[in-house]
Structure 1
Amino acid sequence: MKILVTLILSILTTSLAVAQYNFEPTTENPFGQPHPDAPQQLKDFEPMIGICDCKSMSRMPDGSWSDAVDMQWTFKYIMNGMAVQDETLKADGKHSGSIRQFIADSSKWYVHYYSSNAPSLVLPTWEGKKKDGAIVLYRNQKSPNGIDGFYRLTFYDMTKTGYKWIGEWVSKDESIEYPTWKIDCARKI
């Protein structure tokens, strides 16, 4: 009898452990899946889940745009489908990534960014939400001449075949916009 009880408990424990991680990446779902208990906004990033080949361009000090840098951008569900993580691998060796969590109490996305080019003890955080078909995120930042404003990140033109992204400094009232970085992505996987 003791052996039967031990066997049943072992099977139940194993079944619970497997079920506990049903939304992590697997062979069938290499980028994970959204957890059914996650906020519905988790699906805001659904068009980006997978791998895209991208072209990244940044603003040069003289105001012109740099040559495009080849980049691979991968998005996946993490934390058993409760959040989204992304990673960029760039041909210039400046890799980066983010962890994206939607917090229902504030109805906002919080995005924590990290980079191989500028390691940080405290990760910078952007916050925002999806509006008018775009995901728009903000972080306080002064302009080079000291004007209060934000660094705004926007994902737009999001489809199953790719998406676009732009990073720009904007004034507090958003009447002044100065793009400094843009990325165009085409679906690979």
Structure 2
Amino acid sequence: MNRTIKNILNKTLLFFSVSLLTLSACKLHAQSEYEPSQKHPYGLPNPEAPEQVKDFEPMIGECNCKSTARNPDGTWQDTQNMVWKWKYIMNGNAVQDETIKEDGGHSGSIRQFIADSSKWYVHYYSIKFPPTTLPTWEGNKTEDGNKIVLYRDQTAPNGMEGFYRLTFYDMSETGYKWVGEWVDKAEKITYPTWKIECERTSKE
């Protein structure tokens, strides 16, 4: 093999190597272009994801919040400050949130909309009560678009079957409210146990 043919082969191999590396880099970028970045610190919704991935858009960013929980005896605890952070994850196909509380009781959730069942599934975790299996709530945005309501089966202390219902409401660019409450299966009986009110501090 003479030197000319050798040079041609080497250049051809180099071209294909560079092309493959470029293709791999483009593919990797395409798989992460909606992740949180310096330009978009809370990520972006992936345009190929279900439209519902934008349901939590009013919460994306960071808010200062006031959290109040109920004691077992029915009285309410003192309100505590917390920061609630939200971002798009999984290249804009899901949402993750994290709470930073002044008492150290941090927690968070992974939120995915499953198109096949047309529901949100919310998997919750906490530093105070680390679960071996993540509890899951499921639900949707209401038809009027004013609330997001999620449910998980929970039996009351008296044995009555019901749900622990989570509701986001009064959602806007300036903040939102949230309430966790036990309800019976018919949702006629309501017993709130946790309330949070949030004011936005950062969107981008």
Q: Are 1:144 and 2:176 matched, yes or no?
A: no
1:168, CA displacement in angstroms? Answer: 0.1
Q: Distance in 2 between matches of 1:134 and 1:12?
A: 43
For these two proteins, the number of residue pairs brought into alignment is 189
Counterpart of 1:177 in structure 2 is 190
1:51, CA displacement in angstroms? Answer: 0.5
Q: Calculate the TM-score normalised by the size of structure 2.
A: 0.91
Q: Distance in 2 between matches of 1:170 and 1:149?
A: 6
The correspondence of residues 20-35 of structure 1 with structure 2, limited to 5 A, is: 20-35=31-46
Q: Are 1:160 and 2:150 matched, yes or no?
A: no
When Rg is computed on C-alpha atoms for both structures, the one with the higher figure is 2
Aligned with residue 130 of structure 1, among 141, 150, 158: 141
Q: Are 1:12 and 2:27 matched, yes or no?
A: no
**After the TM superposition, which parts of structure 1 deviate over 4 Å for at least 4 consecutive aligned residues?**
none
The correspondence of residues 18-167 of structure 1 with structure 2, limited to 5 A, is: 18-131=29-142, 132=144, 133-167=146-180
Per-residue CA deviations over 1:70-129 (Å, capped at 9, x if unaligned) read 100001000000000000010011010000000111111000000001011100000000
1:61, CA displacement in angstroms? Answer: 2.7
Ranges in structure 2 where 5+ consecutive residues have no aligned partner:
1-11
Q: Secondary structure at the match of 1:188?
A: strand
1:62, CA displacement in angstroms? Answer: 3.0
1:66, CA displacement in angstroms? Answer: 1.2
Counterpart of 1:14, as a letter, is A
Q: Secondary structure at the match of 1:31?
A: coil
Q: Distance in 1 between matches of 2:190 and 2:163?
A: 10
Q: Secondary structure at the match of 2:33?
A: coil
1:36, CA displacement in angstroms? Answer: 0.7
Identical-residue share of aligned pairs (%): 62
Q: Distance in 1 between matches of 2:155 and 2:19?
A: 62
1:64, CA displacement in angstroms? Answer: 2.2
Counterpart of 2:95, as a letter, is V
